[in-house]
């Protein structure tokens, strides 16, 4: 990406360092850069994520789609180190997000569904705050600010308090703050909700550029199935389970579009659940 030079804060493990790790923790390009292994999470008696395993190669965009309440947000929050799984393992480049949470956080960027920044700071002050956290200074600071506030069409509003922004503009500010971080893994939970179609496309153009030039691995949930088609791989979730995963064309199968394929798979899963519930 022009004007961006990433500091390699977490260089690849040496061969001796890699051998000291457990088999699951060892860096294995064929096993995926993000590895979700038999992960489960419950809230009280409610199962949010049920024994999900998924492997996502470095430098790919994996889209999480499915019904509301399927567990997508909970799974992404676990990957982003926001909550601990009840069981299973999540590794990013061989780093266990539970055992080595601090290290995992330095290479992971997370944007939740709702604006979670500082509403009493201006747009520019919010961006500056995140640049301070990640040690971005001098000319590079100005280049990134110009690029990402420009992308999100917030340059005319740099002096406006974040709390005075519309819902869509708040989401754009959140996007800008996460993008200036430029992590190795970017976790985005429905980030384009409330963003106009032009900005949505500009956002995806930047994702593609980050993927191509920086090999950023991107996990993104979306309610827009046209965005699902843009992903390298998809994970279809429903009722806390992973129903299917693979390239969009594989998940789509013989159906004319992804929406029909999803509806069919979800209805099929629900029918199976009803039959199981009535077994004696």
Domains, the chain, in order of start with CATH, read 33-107+185-196+215-280 (3.40.50.300), 114-182 (no CATH)
Percentage with pLDDT > 70 across the chain: 85
Computed over every residue of the chain, the mean pLDDT equals 85
pLDDT in tens, 25-71: 444 545 689 999 999 999 999 999 999 999 999 999 999 999 999 99
Please write the tens of the pLDDT for every residue from 135-189: 899 999 999 999 889 877 899 999 999 999 987 788 788 888 988 877 899 999 9
Q: Residue 5: pLDDT above 90?
A: no
Burial class (CB in 10 A: 0-12, 13-18, 19+), 50: middle
Vertex 55: Cα angle to 53 and 60 (nearest 5): 140
- Tokens of residue 205, six digits: 């153009």
Interatomic CA distance for residues 14 and 12, integer angstroms: 6
Inter-residue contact 158 to 123 (CB < 8 Å): yes
pTM of the model: 0.81
Segment 207-234 shows an average pLDDT of 92
Closest CA to 261 of 273, 243, 242: 243
| Residue that is written with structure tokens 């038999």 in the block | 38
Strand (E) or helix (H) holding 213: helix 197-214
- For residues 183 and 260, what is the distance between their CA atoms, to the nearest angstrom? 34
Residue in the block written with tokens 């979670």: 116
Q: Please report which confidence band the pLDDT of residue 274 belongs to, taking 50, 70 and 90 as the band edges.
A: very low
């Amino acid at each position: 990406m022009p004007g961006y030079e990433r500091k390699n804060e977490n260089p690849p493990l040496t061969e001796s360092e890699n051998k000291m790790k457990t088999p699951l923790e060892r860096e294995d390009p064929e096993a995926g850069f993000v590895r979700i292994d038999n992960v489960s999470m419950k809230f009280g008696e409610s199962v949010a994520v049920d024994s999900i395993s998924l492997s996502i190669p470095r430098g790919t965009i994996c889209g999480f789609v499915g019904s509301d309440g399927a567990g997508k947000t909970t799974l992404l929050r676990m990957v982003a180190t926001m909550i601990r799984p009840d069981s299973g393992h999540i590794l990013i480049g061989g780093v266990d997000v539970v055992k080595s949470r601090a290290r995992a956080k330095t290479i992971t960027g997370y944007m939740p569904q709702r604006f979670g920044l500082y509403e009493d700071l201006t747009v520019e002050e919010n961006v500056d705050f995140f640049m301070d956290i990640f040690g971005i200074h001098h000319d590079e600071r100005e280049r990134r600010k110009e690029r990402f506030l420009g992308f999100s069409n917030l340059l005319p509003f740099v002096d406006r308090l974040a709390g005075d922004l519309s819902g869509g503009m708040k989401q754009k500010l959140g996007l800008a703050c996460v993008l200036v971080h430029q992590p190795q893994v970017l976790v985005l939970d429905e980030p384009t909700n409330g963003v106009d179609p032009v900005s949505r496309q500009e956002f995806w153009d930047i994702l593609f550029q980050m993927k191509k030039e920086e090999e950023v691995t991107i996990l993104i949930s979306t309610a827009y199935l046209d965005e699902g088609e843009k992903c390298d791989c998809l994970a279809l979730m429903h009722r806390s389970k992973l129903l299917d995963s693979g390239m969009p064309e594989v998940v789509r199968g013989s159906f004319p579009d992804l929406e029909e394929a999803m509806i069919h798979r979800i209805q099929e899963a629900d029918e199976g659940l009803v039959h199981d519930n009535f077994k004696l």
